[in-house]
Amino acid sequence: MDLQFLDQERIVAASSTGCVTVFLHHPNNQTLSASQQWTAAHYHTGPGSPSGSSAPCTGVVCNSPEIVTVGEDGRINLFRVDHKEAVRTIDNADSSTLHAVTFLRTPEILTVNSIGQLKIWDFRQQGNEPSQILSLTGDRVPLHCVDRHPNQQHVVATGGQDGMLSIWDVRQGTMPVSLLKAHEAEMWEVHFHPSNPDHLFTCSEDGSLWHWDASTDVPEKSSLFHQGGRNSTFLSHSISNQANVHQSLISSWLSTDPARDRIEITSLLPNRTLSVNSLDVLGPCLVCGTDSEAIYVTRQLFS
């Protein structure tokens, strides 16, 4: 269900069996071996659940030596490498499925769930309650993915079942700052570029893979969609007014009112394919995997 590097040698895998495994990569012979496993990290309890019935582990995030996992059981686990048991478990963190998790700051994580909520959890607090809940009023659209801006930890992007891209400022209110009309079906993953975070990447069930460019050096002021020379204007609206915040300190994702300023969107796959399930990006390279059992690599993102 999810895969993350813990460090140069180790990879953490989240399984639909509820199991979380740390794999060791052996570069000399290009093999993997399981170095550690928490077999029942996620499981259903309560009436109607057979005892010990496993629940899928849907998401994992790593900040070595710590590993945080979330699952369909609404449980959050904090594991530490080389510890047999979970360091901390929040059993009923959510009554719905948790789909994804990311670190905000080291003791704080942010989860997204199947009823459209973002929740912030602080591991320094002992209780089982989130320190903050954000959601789009009246909408219970499941959120599938989340990523945090690499330099500005209060800026978060989410995507979900309706294919919309939402940008949130967790310091301001409980609503997203921008809602951008995006894919025609579920958005499966969203990633800020790690070293160039004015650029963001999304992939969808509708077979599309998009590069969003919010950098401010773009000349004209309209939201354009490029695909094979065809431009079509994109609908978007900004919800909150950011005028009171000092502009130079603001991420371009917050300072732009997308209806007036410009976000350039480029389609990275030449032809619509089956669902694009996962993507990752580093430097000039992007890689994604699809339901057509193909892996696509883009090597010149910024050329």
Q: Assess if residue 7 is contained within a domain.
A: yes
- Has residue 134 been placed in a domain? no
Domain range for residue 56?
Answer: 1-92
Contact 59, 109 (CB under 8 A): no
Q: What pLDDT is recorded for position 216?
A: 67
- Do residues 110 and 148 touch, judged by C-beta distance below 8 A? yes
Local structure of residue 54 (DSSP, 8 states): B
Query: 199 near 246, Cβ under 8 Å?
Result: no
9 located within any domain: yes
For the chain, the helix, strand and coil percentages under 3-state DSSP, each to the nearest 5:
0, 45, 50
252's enclosing H/E stretch is helix 252-255
Q: Per the domain annotation, does 294 fall within a domain?
A: no
Cα 42 to Cα 140: distance, rounded to the nearest angstrom: 24
pLDDT at 229: 31
Question: Given this model, what pLDDT does residue 261 score?
Answer: 58
**81 vs 102: CA distance, rounded Å:** 18
Separation between Cα atoms, residue 127 and residue 28, nearest integer Å: 46
| 43 is a domain residue | yes
What residues form DSSP beta bridges with 111?
A: 101, 119
Token digits for 271?
Answer: 């032809």
Residue 284: both structure tokens together: 């000039």
Query: Does the residue 281 lie in any domain?
Result: no
- Average pLDDT for runs of 10 along the chain of length 303: 95 98 96 96 82 90 96 96 94 93 94 96 93 87 96 95 95 88 95 96 96 72 39 37 40 64 84 90 96 93 85
Question: CA 297 → CA 208, 282, 287, 288, distances in Å?
Answer: 14, 11, 4, 7
Model pTM?
A: 0.86
Q: 116 in a domain, yes or no? A: no
Give how many domains the chain has, as a whole number: 1
CATH code of 19's domain? 2.40.10.480
pLDDT at 303: 76
**21 in any annotated domain:** yes
- In the structure, how many helices (H) and strands (E) does the chain have? 1, 26
The values of phi and psi at residue 32, to 5°, are: -120, 145
Measured CA to CA, the distance from residue 80 to residue 83 in angstroms comes to 6
